[in-house]
Structure 1
Amino acid sequence: MPETRPAVTALVVATLSTGVAAGLGGMLLALLLHLVQHLAYGYGADSASAHASFLQGVTMAGGMRRVLVLAGCGLVAGLGWWAVYHHGRKLVSVKQAAGPGAPAMPGGATLAHALLQIVTVALGSPLGREVAPREIGALLAGYLARWTGLTVEYRRLLVACGAGAGLAAVYNVPLGGAVFVLEVLVGAFSWPVAAMAMASSALAAWVAWWGLGAESQYLVPHMAVTPALVAWALVLGPLFGVAAHGFARLTGAARARAARGWRLAALSLLNFTVIGLLAVYLPQLLGNGKGAASLSFDGELTVGVAALLLVLKVAIEASTLRAGAEGGLLTPGLTNGALLAFIAGGLCNQLLPGVFGAVPLGAYAIVGATAFLASSMSMPLTAIVLLAEFTRMDHDMLVPVVLAVAGSACASRWCAKAAAKPAQVVAMPVPVSASAAGAVSAASAVAPRASAQHLARADKTA
């Protein structure tokens, strides 16, 4: 903590102001998201659809409208991000701004980058919306840190708190935002940083209530925790770690090869148009995955439909990143885990009804969603807290959830270590006579070639 009273006062003022600013920013972004959704798909204007969810809204819209909206999304994404990369200042990520030196985030480029994410997700992009409020919260925190004259060290901590506060605002997760700051952005625990993170995230969530309400993200029924569910979580937890590791590598490779230049516009239009065509038959594919996750938690899918959604969602998430669009992977990862757990749990219920028949499919989905998210984003503690706040699940559900996350984290860590090991080349034994003969023949073949090359170089020098 700063040692002088003015410095402490400046830090307190900056922290509280960051919470309020990030809350307002997150609230406005969420309201913009809802506005674009309603305008694009034509719901919410009458009493019949005033309280419809995004999934209900896109389902009520016609198939051709979905295709046209997604084609428009491709144009917005392609031309918008091309303009940001071509004409805007170089972007500074939240991780970079909260890292050594605390480089400043460019205001105009960051704002455009965030707005493009919100608009494209509202139109149906399969990526997450959580990066945008984190960027806006971090951007505002950076301004406040410089205005109050904080040192570089406290400036980067305040930027991290601003990002966590933005997350807390849009998802109504005051504790989750604070834990995200400590586990993911700062990577260490100290009481001063914890106090800053908790104060800013709680304030941001409270401010966002003014425009978004205080409802949870998902409404789930009461779920009894049975020995079968606990055993299932303990045994299958590692499965989600392996799957999440594969998903992280796939999306990481897609980001690394993301299109730029004219290819960004062309591939974005093609990618989103294909997604629109798929959505004619499967409207659950549209958006960041919240609708599909809700269906999993409510047990309103079949195993076959869940499997089809899982395969297609992973494919379009990777293709969207490869096309050059931007967005988060929090809700997409959560949804993929929920669908995978729904499939695994449904098969267990069918194959062993005497053992697992009493376990609701939604309970599997919550456990799997947490375990997958924990490993896909390398944040086990944050994932547990987020799912608890997203769903407001019963306290007893923490037992299978934590067990599954533990197994998932271990398996994911093992996969990462295995992938990092260099491949070992095993030399085949060669008889001495054969190796000697080979050496002689190789030497005789190389010598004339080397002499010829030497003469050629001599000719060029002369």
Structure 2
Amino acid sequence: MFLIREKILALLDWLSAPARMKLRLFLEGNFIGILTGFVIAAFRWLLVLSEEALPRLYAFLAEHPAWTLAWAGVLAVIGYILYRIVRHEPMTSGSGIPQIEGILAGEMQMNWARVLAWKFVGAVLGIGAGLSLGREGPSVQLGACLGQGVGRLARRAPGEDRYLLTAGAGAGLAAAFNAPLAGVIFCLEELTKDFSPLVLMGAVAACVTATTVTQQFFGLAPVFHMGDVPVVATGSFYFLLILLGLFVGAVSLAFNHSLTFSLDTFARVKLPAWSKPMVPLFLSIAFGFTLPQVLGGGSPLVDSLVVQDYGLVMLCILFAAKFCFLMVCFGSGVPGGIFLPMLVLGALAGAIFAKLAAFAGVLPEGLAVDCMVFGMAAYFACVVKSPITGTVLIMEMTGSFSHMLPLILVSMTAYLVSDLTGGQPVYEMLLKRSLRLRDRARARFEAGRKRPARREPHV
């Protein structure tokens, strides 16, 4: 036993040499990927159960309306729990991706174990109850927590700790969407904006391993079930693809401003803080009876666009309802992301464009599914301003690997629409807003401390 311990210590000492940092990041990335894969698999499994249960629940409530009050009571309890979670650990609020970027920028700090536990619980409760929020932001933050935890427990230097946190974040995205390559590119293009071999080594190991783990539970099928997507010759539809990028880019311009407007409105509204998470939860009851398609992240809605022929008016109603419900949910500050609902909005925008183009006689109806796929990438590129990540992500999520050229063309067109109109990357915008609010709060606190006490007049 003593000999084995000596060999392990010798191996660890050998790996700790600076010259072997890439090997160390590769090995630690694999370990982080395994941990992240199991955590995200449990997270996804619980959300899948809720996606299957909610339609049955509202069908039951439609037949037995007296039970609606009981469900409202359950949602009120969930809302209060979410309020307590965010109050206890503010880093669990919202998507989680701006917080990770803030940590990498040296502007924020995170208690990885506490955020890991409370983010998991809060996201499952909120999204599972029907809020129009995505699993990808929480998945990225959960993976980042595990990456930081491994770095802290292994007592890595701050620089190496950041590489492990980044690897965990990419693994979270890869495991959430069965998209390992997109997870790697997300680390490079969005989180670090640095194509460093050190970032690449840990990210590749973590993303591939995490996806391998989740595939053992969910299989190899892509997240969106788009069926056979016809291959489009880019040259034959070049100008139509440009028009699609312009259309989706223009439609998505209101997204970022609406997010900040919703956050500011919830901050100003004169409601008790504990009641604010209950606003979107109670609103979900109304949508559950009228438009259940907009509940949750939205994967079933994208799948239904392929097999069900929605009319143009219905597509516009679904887009408006999904958009507004997402803004209310995110503005309340509960744990949950915007990534997946954003892609759903892109698919709906692509479906609307396909209807208009088919009506004008410039697009065969059989290519409507292509417009949905391209619309998701374009919406992502315009809002997040990471066109390469969006292109690769949509290829992996839909299994459409033969559409790289049109995806890039549409994504870059939408990106230019955002760039020429002064649009900011959504996660960078949200991070700047959080830092600005933090600095204002600090300034008010310091001003209160420096203000001299008022003297009482002598009687």
TM range (shorter): 0.7 to 0.9
Q: Which of residues 243, 251, 262 in structure 2 aligns to 1:254?
A: 262
Change (3 A) 1:22 1:102: farther
Determine the C-alpha separation between the residues in 2 that align with 1:150 and 1:128: 32
> Closer, same or farther in 2 for the Cα pair 1:175/1:262, shift >3 Å?
same
Is this contact kept in 2: 1:118–1:132, CA < 8 A? Answer: no
- Is 2:365 aligned against 1:364? no
- Please identify, of 220-229 and 363-372, the stretch whose mean Cα deviation from structure 2 is larger: 220-229
Residue 224 of structure 1: aligned partner: 231
What is the match of residue 432 of structure 1?
none
Q: Is the CA contact 2:147–2:165 (under 8 Å) kept in the aligned structure 1?
A: yes
8 Å Cα contact 1:138/1:163 also seen in 2: yes
How big is each residue's C-alpha offset from its partner over 1:132-182, in whole Å with a ceiling of 9 and x where there is no partner?
Answer: 221111111111112223221121121011011011112111111111111
SS at match of 2:336: coil
Match of 1:240 among 245, 248, 251: 248
Change (3 A) 1:8 1:274: closer
Instruction: Trace 1:419-458 onto structure 2 (pairs within 5 A).
Output: none
1:349 aligns with 2:355: no
8 A Cα contact 2:135 2:176, kept in partner: no
1:263 Cα deviation from its structure 2 partner: 3.0
Aligned to 2:442: none
The one of 186, 189, 199 equivalent to 1:183 is: 189
Corresponding letter in the other structure for 1:192: L
Q: 1:7 to 1:408 in 2, by over 3 A?
A: closer
Alignment-mate amino acid for residue 26 of structure 2: V
The one of 149, 152, 163 aligned to 1:146: 152
Instruction: Describe the shift of the 1:361–1:82 C-alpha distance in structure 2 as closer, same or farther (beyond 3 A).
Output: same
Distance in 1 of aligned mates of 2:292 and 2:321: 12
CA distance, structure 2, for counterparts of residue 259 and residue 117 of structure 1: 21
Cα deviation code 1:87-129 (max 9, x no counterpart): 3476582222333388343422442123211222122111111
Counterparts of 1:51-130 in structure 2 under 5 Å? 61-63=60-62, 71=72, 74-88=75-89, 93-100=99-106, 103-130=109-136
2:137 maps to which residue?
131
Q: Secondary structure at the match of 1:124?
A: coil
Contact persistence 2:381–2:390 (CA under 8 A) = yes
Matched-pair contact (CA < 8 Å) for 1:70–1:275: no
Matched, 1:315 2:324: yes
Tell me the residue number matched to 1:446: none
Which of 266, 273, 285 is residue 275 of structure 2 equivalent to? 266
The 3-state SS of whatever aligns with 2:277 is helix
- 1:416 alignment partner, SS class: coil
Match for residue 192 of structure 1?
198
Distance 2:190 2:424 in 1: 23
Distance 1:229 1:71 in 2: 50
Matched, 1:284 2:284: no
Deviations 1:231-251 (A, max 9, x none): 321123123223223112211
2:175/2:207 contact within 8 Å kept: yes
Q: Report the Cα distance in structure 1 between the residues aligned to 2:253 and 2:197, rounded to whole angstroms.
A: 32
The answer on whether the counterparts of 1:78 and 1:268 sit within 8 Å (CA) in structure 2 is yes
Question: SS in structure 1 opposite 2:272?
Answer: helix
Distance of aligned partners of 1:345 and 1:58 in 2 relative to their CA distance in 1, 3 Å threshold: farther
Moved more, 259-268 or 335-344: 259-268
Q: Deviations over 1:307-360 (max 9, x none)?
A: 10001111111111223323111111111111112112101111x22x323552
Aligned to 1:14: 28
Offset, 1:252: 2.8
- In the TM superposition, what whole-angstrom CA distance separates every residue of 1:248-296 from its partner, at most 9, and x where no partner exists? 2211332344459963432332332223213212221111121222223
Aligned with 1:356: secondary structure? coil
What is the Cα deviation at residue 414 of structure 1? 1.2
Taking a change above 3 Å as real, the CA distance of residues 139 and 311 of structure 1, as seen in their structure-2 partners, is same
Decide whether aligned partners of structure 1 residues 162 and 363 sit closer, same or farther in structure 2, where only a CA change above 3 A counts. same
- Structure 1 residues 68 and 201: CA distance shift in structure 2, 3 A: farther
Q: Does the 8 Å CA contact 2:132/2:295 hold for their aligned counterparts?
A: yes
Q: Which residue of 2 aligns with 1:392?
A: 399
Please give the TM-score of this superposition, normalised by the length of structure 1.
0.79
**Runs (5+) with no aligned partner, structure 2:** 1-14, 426-459
Separation (CA, whole Å) in 2 of partners of 1:321 and 1:417? 20
Q: Is the 8 A contact 1:67 1:280 kept in 2?
A: no
Counterpart secondary structure, 2:421: helix
Task: State the TM-score, normalized to the length of structure 2.
Answer: 0.79
Q: How many equivalent pairs are there?
A: 402
How far 1:25 sits from its partner (Å)? 1.1
Which secondary structure state, in structure 2, belongs to the residue aligned with residue 360 of structure 1? helix
User: Of the candidates 362, 386, 393, which is equivalent to residue 379 of structure 1?
Assistant: 386
Counterparts of 2:413 and 2:243, CA distance in 1: 8
1:326 and 1:418 mapped to 2: Cα distance?
23
Q: C-alpha displacement at 1:383, in angstroms?
A: 0.7
Residue type matched to 2:18 in 1?
A: T
Please tell me the residue identity of whatever aligns with 1:370: A
Q: Could you tell me how far apart the structure 1 residues matched to 2:70 and 2:408 are?
A: 40
Deviates more, 1:275-284 or 1:335-344: 275-284
- 2:25 touches 2:198 (CA, 8 Å); kept in 1? no
Deviation at 1:70, TM superposition (A): 6.9
Q: Which residue of 2 aligns with 1:415?
A: 421
Residue 335 (structure 2) aligned to one of 320, 326, 346 = 326
Between the aligned partners of 2:277 and 2:32, the Cα distance in structure 1 is 35
Deviations 1:44-98 (A, max 9, x none): xxxxxxxxxxx6x567554367966973574255312321233347658222233
Aligned partner of 2:209 among 192, 197, 203: 203
Q: 1:62 to 1:145 in 2, by over 3 A?
A: same
Alpha-carbon distance in 1 for matches of 2:385, 2:306: 23
* Percentage of matched positions with identical amino acids: 21
Measured at CA, do residues 89 and 401 of structure 1 come closer, stay the same or move farther in structure 2, by a change above 3 Å?
closer
Q: Matched residues in 2 for 1:109 and 1:401: separation?
A: 36
Shift of the 6–175 alpha-carbon distance from structure 1 to 2, 3 Å rule, reads: closer
Give the Cα–Cα distance (whole angstroms) in 1 for the partners of residues 84 and 285 of structure 2.
24
Q: Which residue does 1:293 correspond to in 2?
A: 302
